[in-house]
């Protein structure tokens, strides 16, 4: 009889049990979300040469503080465990307050951020807009003429950025027979991929009868299309754009990665992996109005439009996520909460969050391995947790 390997002891299963067919399922996601490159093709985004991360900082007494999120008081540490969190980095006034990691994740490890990738991609769109390279008001077909026969034939880049394309597509995460499952095969995220590229899939999508721009519809292919539009506008591959325009100017310490399909098209809707500290750096750059390390990265006007002034309240009210943020808006792939603290955030399935509270000068990067892609009740609790945590500092 053989004993358990160190891997089995730590994660509770064998490495060879993690497959392309189950990598997003519990408990396998506790490992796979930190090791995307062992399951699907990825491209590197190198960090600042010679940079060294400051040591981890324990959240200390903050973990023992009580918060009342779902009725009964619980400690911060208890909530993190209950919400299937993998990592947490908290900043206040530009300083790292502390880090927390689940037993199955190490400090400095990369973790997939799923749809926060959309928010990161939109930052690069803002940078290119400021350089006069990308026009958000331009028709999609200006950069991607092949889209003339698709849902995007009469859509603008603004519609793509704000998820207001009238797209006949559903985010059916758990339906193996849906168009969403075909989409995931095109991204090489599900078994059976390799016969249709992401670009080819996007070109098959058709529109609804409603005009573009009227309703917020959360449709991930819009954000993969945005990556293609940015590549066409700039003449650069997305991983190179991310490194040149954001990763190096931000002063990141760790290499990032992004999933790619059979043609090398980046999965800009959900394939980026970063460390919690570097994710928090993105949030702090946004809190600082688009600057980091004394350098401007993205125009201040773009940050204000994204986090405060822009977005259609009417389109948001007609969408399906209004219960999360009843007074919210969506602009440039960031969520405005509509709360008194002026908070805004990027959100990814399975518990990925980048939360910024301007009033409290707080940035929170949270990574998770929740068992299901969406848990609407828990999402509301997580927002309440961030607000309570901000008040404790």
Average pLDDT over residues 121-127: 98
**Does residue 337 register a pLDDT over 60?**
yes
Q: How far apart are CA 191 and CA 341, in angstroms?
A: 44
83 is catalytic: no
pLDDT in tens, 300-318: 999 999 999 999 999 999 9
Mean of the per-residue pLDDT values of the chain:
96
Of the CA atoms within 13 Å of residue 19, those in its CB half-sphere come to 5
Region of poorest pLDDT, from 26-30, 50-54, 76-80, 196-200: 50-54
Average pLDDT over residues 88-100: 98
**Does residue 336 register a pLDDT over 80?**
yes
pLDDT at residue 309, as a whole number: 94
**Does residue 2 register a pLDDT over 80?**
no
**Does residue 319 register a pLDDT over 50?**
yes
**Which residue reads 């808006």 in tokens?**
329
Average pLDDT over residues 250-262: 96
Q: Which of 115, 156, 254, 273 is catalytic?
A: 115
324 pLDDT tier (thresholds 50, 70, 90): very high
255 pLDDT tier (thresholds 50, 70, 90): very high
For residue 206, give Cα distances in angstroms to 21, 67, 210, 221, 245: 28, 46, 12, 12, 33
**Does residue 40 register a pLDDT over 50?**
yes
Of the CA atoms within 13 Å of residue 33, those in its CB half-sphere come to 33
pLDDT at residue 253, as a whole number: 93
pLDDT at residue 71, as a whole number: 84
pLDDT at residue 379, as a whole number: 97
Q: How far apart are CA 260 and CA 114, in angstroms?
A: 13
DSSP-assigned states of every residue in 72-134: SEEEHHHHHHHTTEEEEEEEETTEEEEEEE-TT--TT--EE-TTHHHHHHHHHHHHHHHTTS-
Percent of the chain exceeding pLDDT 70 equals: 99
pLDDT in tens, 131-145: 999 999 999 999 999
pLDDT at residue 51, as a whole number: 86
> Which domains can be identified in the chain, with CATH numbers?
45-132+237-392 (3.40.710.10)
Collapsing DSSP to helix, strand or coil, 29 comes out as helix
3 pLDDT tier (thresholds 50, 70, 90): confident
């Amino acid at each position: 009889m053989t004993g358990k390997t160190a891997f089995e002891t730590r994660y509770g299963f064998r490495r060879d049990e993690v497959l392309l067919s189950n990598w997003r399922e519990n408990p396998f996601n506790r490992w796979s979300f930190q090791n995307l490159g062992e399951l699907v093709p990825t491209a590197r985004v190198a960090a600042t040469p010679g940079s060294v991360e400051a040591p981890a900082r324990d959240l200390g007494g903050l973990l023992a503080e009580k918060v009342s999120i779902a009725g009964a008081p619980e400690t911060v540490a208890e909530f993190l465990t209950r919400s299937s969190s993998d990592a947490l980095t908290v900043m206040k006034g530009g300083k790292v307050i502390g880090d927390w990691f689940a037993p199955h994740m190490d400090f400095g490890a990369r973790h997939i951020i799923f749809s926060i990738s959309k928010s990161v991609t939109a930052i690069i769109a803002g940078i290119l807009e400021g350089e006069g390279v990308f026009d958000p008001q331009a028709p999609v077909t200006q950069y991607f003429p092949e889209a003339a026969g698709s849902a995007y034939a009469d859509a603008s880049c603004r519609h793509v950025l704000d998820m207001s394309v009238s797209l006949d597509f559903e985010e059916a995460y758990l339906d193996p027979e849906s168009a969403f499952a075909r989409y995931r095969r095109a991204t090489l995220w599900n078994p059976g991929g390799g016969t249709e590229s992401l670009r080819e899939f996007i070109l098959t999508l058709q529109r609804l009868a409603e005009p573009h721009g009227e309703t917020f519809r959360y449709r991930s292919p819009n954000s993969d299309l945005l990556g293609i539009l940015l590549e066409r506008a700039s003449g650069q591959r997305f991983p190179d754009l991310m490194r040149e325009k954001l990763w190096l100017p931000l002063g990141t310490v760790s290499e990032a990665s992004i999933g790619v399909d059979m043609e090398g098209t980046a999965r800009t809707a959900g394939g980026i992996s970063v460390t919690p500290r570097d994710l928090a750096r993105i949030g702090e750059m946004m809190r600082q109005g688009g600057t980091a390390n004394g350098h401007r990265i993205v125009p201040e006007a773009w940050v204000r439009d994204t986090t405060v002034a822009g977005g259609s309240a009417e389109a948001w009210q007609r969408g399906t996520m209004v219960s999360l943020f009843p007074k919210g808006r969506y602009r440039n792939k960031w969520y405005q909460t509509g709360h008194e603290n002026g908070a805004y955030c990027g959100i990814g399935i399975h518990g990925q969050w980048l939360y910024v509270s301007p009033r409290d000068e707080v940035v929170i990067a949270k990574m998770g391995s929740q068992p299901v892609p969406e848990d609407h009740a828990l999402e509301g609790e997580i927002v309440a947790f961030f607000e309570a945590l901000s008040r404790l500092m």
